[in-house]
């Protein structure tokens, strides 16, 4: 018998079994169960039907990040319900306005998730935590409500696809570009109910922010999870964050995969995904000449709202101004990221460039608030989805890109590469 993948090892441990195979249906213990202000109320309703006591107040995270600061009475009522539940059950990891961050940026930053964890969340982008070497996946609110009570959930152990990224990344090419290219290559259903295991020299060189971005968007290819085998970068990241014991798993050399996909990164360009699917990815060289004008640029979200992302955007925007025809909105992923961006002078760069800098929120990504698109408007966004009506009117269009391409686009007013800014004059000092 060959070895096991990291995914299979995590499930075996959480089921207390010596080994496990893809396709098995298992009832597994979860390390963390999370929900937000949209999905938690339904989970709480289900929980109240089956129990009056949570399985572990230290294993539940409630993050009020989607319609906050509350945009209307309905969202305020949603948050009130979650707030009262958190108080009643003394939930340790409850984050409200002023302390909250975008959940998939906040939980890793605060050391709430760790390598080897089995994480479930009533949010499809829960797969972000795979960057830590955890198996993390989204599920329905009703299932989550039961998990609040039992600390367990049913799974079918997924098969794994091994993605091998060889070569070195060129300037301005990031984890966002790798995952957009990958989704474009295999399609939005190319990894249906599979664990997407990201490996290879290019992944080894990628920073944690890039790995979070890639795992975040595994769901956009239909993946059950995205996952990276922990290395020294992973251990360094969690060293001063995670305050509990955890177990590091790595795939065995003889592990079996349902498919292996190799991608040469040496010539890979920055990518732009055209409306209305993340899989509609094109290299920037095929986009620039079209001079596609945009009305709004969004830099942030659980996909690209980390300090590394803001540094890239600030490097491009420094000394320049956003086009008068463009609204550029910057959303730091957490309060700490916001504070770090202030200390590093990034917020000043953004404001001097005429960007609007917002408190951490998921608002614009899902067309909730803080950046709704009007009829016929176009946006470049560092978020993860560009479905019809995702960020506003159903006739609006969303182009997905990296912070580098987004920042360059904000300056030029049309979709372009950072390389196209070399001829753009800097703002004169007054």
Q: pLDDT (tens digit, 9 = 90+) per residue, 1-57?
A: 579 999 999 999 999 999 999 999 999 999 999 999 999 999 999 999 999 999 999
* Run of H or E including 296: strand 296-300
Residues in contact with 77: Cβ distance below 8 Å, sequence separation at least 6, in sequence order: none
Whole-angstrom CA distances from 15 to 26, 28, 341 are 7, 5, 42
Question: What's the pLDDT at 423?
Answer: 56
**For residues 270 and 284, is the Cβ–Cβ distance under 8 A?**
yes
Q: What is the pTM of this model?
A: 0.94
Question: What's the pLDDT at 130?
Answer: 98
- At CA 256, angle to CA 114 and CA 181, rounded to 5? 70
Low-confidence ranges of the chain (pLDDT < 50): 425, 427-430
276 prior amide bond cis, ω within 30:
yes
The torsion angles phi and psi of 87, rounded to 5 degrees, stand at -70, -45
Q: Helix (H, G, I), strand (E, B), or coil: what is residue 107?
A: helix
Distance CA 58, CA 99 (A): 18
pLDDT per residue as tens digits for the range 303-336: 999 999 999 999 999 999 999 999 999 999 999 9
The torsion angles phi and psi of 156, rounded to 5 degrees, stand at -105, 120
**For residues 385 and 220, is the Cβ–Cβ distance under 8 A?**
yes
Question: What's the pLDDT at 137?
Answer: 97
* The two three-digit tokens of residue 121, written as one number: 């969340």
- The CATH code for residues 273-423 is 3.30.499.10
Q: Helix (H, G, I), strand (E, B), or coil: what is residue 350?
A: helix
Tokens 């079994």 belong to residue: 17
Q: Residue 3: is it exposed, middle or buried by C-beta count within 10 angstroms (0-12/13-18/19+)?
A: middle
Tokens 């329905």 belong to residue: 140
CATH 3.30.499.10 segments of the chain: 6-242+251-263, 273-423
Q: Which residues pair with 225 in a beta bridge?
A: 195
Max CA separation in the chain (angstroms): 72
Question: What's the pLDDT at 296?
Answer: 97
The CATH architecture of the domain made up of 6-242+251-263 is 2-Layer Sandwich (3.30)
* The two three-digit tokens of residue 217, written as one number: 């968007």
Question: What's the pLDDT at 1?
Answer: 52
Question: What's the pLDDT at 364?
Answer: 83
Question: What's the pLDDT at 430?
Answer: 39
Residues in contact with 410: Cβ distance below 8 Å, sequence separation at least 6, in sequence order: 297, 299, 317, 322, 323, 326, 328, 353, 355, 380
Question: What's the pLDDT at 388?
Answer: 87
Q: Helix (H, G, I), strand (E, B), or coil: what is residue 41?
A: helix
Question: What's the pLDDT at 169?
Answer: 95
Whole-angstrom CA distances from 366 to 14, 151, 362, 392, 398 are 33, 29, 7, 8, 12
Distance CA 175, CA 36 (A): 26
């Amino acid at each position: 018998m060959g070895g096991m993948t990291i995914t299979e090892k995590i499930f075996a441990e959480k089921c207390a079994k010596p080994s496990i195979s893809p396709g098995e249906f298992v009832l597994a213990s979860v390390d963390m169960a999370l929900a937000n202000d949209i999905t938690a109320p339904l989970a709480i309703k289900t929980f109240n039907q089956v129990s009056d006591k949570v399985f572990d107040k230290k294993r539940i995270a409630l993050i009020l990040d989607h319609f906050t600061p509350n945009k209307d009475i309905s969202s305020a009522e949603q948050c009130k319900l979650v707030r009262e539940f958190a108080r009643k059950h003394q939930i340790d990891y409850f984050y409200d306005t002023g302390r909250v961050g975008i959940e998939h940026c906040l939980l890793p930053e605060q050391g709430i998730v760790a390598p080897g964890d089995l994480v479930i969340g009533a949010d499809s982008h829960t797969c972000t935590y795979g960057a830590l070497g955890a198996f993390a996946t989204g599920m329905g609110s009703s299932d989550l409500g039961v998990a609040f009570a039992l600390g367990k959930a049913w799974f079918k152990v997924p098969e794994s696809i091994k993605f091998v990224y060889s070569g070195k990344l060129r300037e301005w090419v990031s984890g966002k570009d790798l995952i957009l290219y990958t989704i474009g290559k295999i399609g939005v259903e190319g990894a249906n109910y599979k664990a997407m295991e990201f490996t290879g020299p290019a992944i080894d060189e990628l920073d944690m922010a890039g790995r979070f971005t890639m795992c975040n968007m595994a769901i956009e290819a239909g993946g059950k999870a995205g996952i990276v085998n922990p290395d020294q970068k992973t251990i360094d990241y969690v060293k001063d964050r995670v305050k509990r014991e955890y177990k590091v798993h790595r795939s065995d050399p003889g592990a079996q995969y349902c498919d292996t996909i190799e991608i040469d990164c040496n010539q890979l360009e920055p990518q732009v995904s055209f409306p209305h699917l993340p899989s509609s990815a094109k290299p920037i060289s095929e986009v620039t000449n079209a001079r596609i004008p945009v009305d709004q640029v969004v830099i942030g979200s659980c996909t690209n709202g980390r300090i590394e992302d803001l540094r890239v955007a600030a490097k491009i925007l420094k000394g320049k101004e956003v086009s008068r025809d463009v609204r550029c909105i910057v959303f730091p992923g957490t309060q700490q990221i916001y504070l770090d961006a202030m200390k590093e002078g990034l917020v000043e760069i953004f404001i001097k460039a005429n960007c609007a800098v917002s408190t951490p929120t998921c608002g614009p990504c899902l067309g909730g608030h803080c950046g709704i698109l009007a009829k016929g408007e176009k946006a470049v966004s560092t978020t993860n989805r560009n479905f019809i009506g995702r960020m506003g009117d159903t006739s609006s269009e969303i182009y997905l890109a990296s912070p580098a391409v987004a920042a360059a686009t904000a300056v030029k007013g049309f979709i372009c590469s950072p390389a196209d800014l070399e001829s753009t004059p800097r703002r004169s000092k007054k």
